[in-house]
Amino acid sequence: MSYVESVLNSVVEKNPGEPEFHQAVKEVLESLSPVFERHAKYEEQRILERITEPERVIMFRVPWVDDKGGIRVNKGYRIEFNSAIGPYKGGLRFHPSVNLGVLKFLGFEQLFKNSLTTLPMGGGKGGSDFDPKGKSNNEVMHFCQSFMTELYRHIGPVTDVPAGDIGVGGREIGYLFGQYKRLKNEFTGVLTGKALAWGGSLIRPEATGYGSVYFAQEMLAAQGQSFEGKTCLVSGSGNVSQYTVEKLLHLGAKPVSLSDSNGTIYDPDGITGEKLQWVLELKNIRRGRISEYQAKFPGSIFIAGQRPWAIPCDCAFPSATQNEINGADASELVKNGCKLISEGANMPSDPDAVNIFLDNKILYGPGKAANAGGVATSGLEMSQNAQFLSWSSEEVDAKLKNIMKSIHRNSYNTAAEYGCPGNYVVGANIAGFLKVANAMIDQGIV
Ligand code: NDP
């Protein structure tokens, strides 16, 4: 049995009932095999056994009182996965599907992603099974305050710096930051994704979506192509999806879909800047459902209960959640002419889908490379906070673009160096791994 196989078996055995974590570990470890064939030191140092075990897992009770005076209890988590190259860094997710295995998969992905950004950030992830949908602002605030009342003792600007993720946007970051400041009596950069007036960075809200499009732009450029006139599918309608659509429009592409957990809207005329502004208001202020788009914009249709993948396109940007593209969806995309996938979401393609994309030589940008722009800009927010200054949006956007170019170049070159040209999965996993693994060796058995 190979080193990779034996570690995979042991991860499954030691972490029962965590299928998403198993899936993420398997995808990364299998693509690392060429590294162990060339370098014995990683096996000698038992790096895979160490890197698949989080440094620390924190789980806690989050009690809070709803608007009717009822007592509610949710689970709270923070996975401090790996701090070899910097403080733990990664988002908080508030969604009913959150459990230990989901957060371990996200934390594991995060450590490779953060390594790829070129910035000094370790990997972490956290969250709760709390569902902000349908809750009043008051309830969300009470929940966030209770969550932070426990979390604050484990985090800090040089220890662990959380950010947003699904269900955690500007509103939630505000309430979390307010409670941290009150408890610690410190105004520090302990969270990223803050509002501009109190330590946030310009372009942070846009960064994940913009970054995913910049990464795709680099994949196209490597083939001598551009976005001009390309029809693009986008799934989700939250933070990442909104700014993916915006950047696609800047670059001359035609985005035609958005979705949420109730279904997909398809607008054959294209989602214009004006229509996007309406979606931002719908989702970020009124907190409504994407189905309302159909009544507002005649010519569009709402496809209830479906994801966008059966709509013909040139490029697809899965930007909602994990495992939202299965093998059948991937085959449909390829059959209908899709030539590029850039993953705004984390692990949106299941293993069958990934194999179909790779077998068909689709330009496939895996999430840990394609959506790294969000955390990279969080890193830039940390730098600004540490220096008590703020950069202009042009400066931040230029840095983001450079980081995405560098992630693309690093993934592309590493894939070629290890005998898999054009395979960004192999390239991103190996490039992300080597930096963390070498740092772990330098720092001894800790
Ligand atoms: P938001 O909460 O802003 O939006 C999430 C969107 O995805 C919503 O439209 C939501 O629909 C939909 N969605 C969520 N869960 C499901 C589900 N189980 N089935 C169908 N639709 C679903 O989150 P973000 O935009 O921030 O995050 C989206 C993805 O991008 C996630 O995978 C996240 O990990 C990843 N990501 C985010 C980063 C960031 O900076 N925000 C950074 C890097 C990655 P509904 O409202 O109906 O739930």
pLDDT of the residue at 435: 98
Tens digits of per-residue pLDDT, 205-228? Answer: 999 999 999 999 999 999 999 999
Tens digits of per-residue pLDDT, 300-336? Answer: 999 999 999 999 999 999 999 999 999 999 999 999 9
Q: Distance, CA 283 to ligand 1 centroid (Å)?
A: 12
Closest residue by Cα to atom 44, ligand 1, is: 345
pLDDT of the residue at 261: 96
pLDDT of the residue at 184: 98
* Most informative mutation of 321, 322, 368 for ligand 1 (most atoms within 8 A of CB): 321
* Most informative mutation of 166, 258, 261 for ligand 1 (most atoms within 8 A of CB): 166
Q: Average pLDDT per run of 10 along the chain, which is 446 residues long? A: 96 98 98 96 98 98 98 98 98 98 98 97 98 97 98 98 97 98 97 97 97 98 97 98 98 98 98 98 96 98 98 98 98 98 98 98 98 97 94 97 98 97 98 98 97
Entry pTM = 0.96
pLDDT of the residue at 438: 98
Q: Is 109 in the pocket of ligand 1 (CB under 6 A)?
A: no
Q: Is 231 in the pocket of ligand 1 (CB under 6 A)?
A: no
Point out the residues that are catalytic.
Answer: 125
Tens digits of per-residue pLDDT, 5-42? Answer: 999 999 999 999 999 999 999 999 999 999 999 999 99
> Which ligand 1 atom is nearest residue 372's CA?
43
All structural domains of the chain: 3-186 (3.40.50.10860), 207-370 (3.40.50.720)
SS (H, E, C) the chain: CCHHHHHHHHHHHHCCCCHHHHHHHHHHHHHHHHHHHHCCHHHHCCHHHHHCCCCEEEEEEEEEECCCCCEEEEEEEEEEEECCCCCEEEEEEECCCCCHHHHHHHHHHHHHHHHHCCCCCEEEEEEECCCCCCCCHHHHHHHHHHHHHHHHHHCECCCEEEECECCECHHHHHHHHHHHHHHHCCCCCCCCCCCHHHCCCCCHHHHHHHHHHHHHHHHHHCCCCCCCCCEEEECCCCHHHHHHHHHHHHCCCEECEEEECCEEEECCCCCCHHHHHHHHHHHHCCCCCCCHHHHHCCCCEEEECCCHHHCCCCEEECCCCCCCECHHHHHHHHHCCCCEEECCCCCCECHHHHHHHHHCCCEEECHHHHCCHHHHHHHHHHHHHHHCCCCCHHHHHHHHHHHHHHHHHHHHHHHHHCCCCCCHHHHHHHHHHHHHHHHHHHCCCC
Q: Is 350 in the pocket of ligand 1 (CB under 6 A)?
A: no
Rounded mean pLDDT of the chain? 97
pLDDT of the residue at 106: 98
Closest residue by Cα to atom 7, ligand 1, is: 320
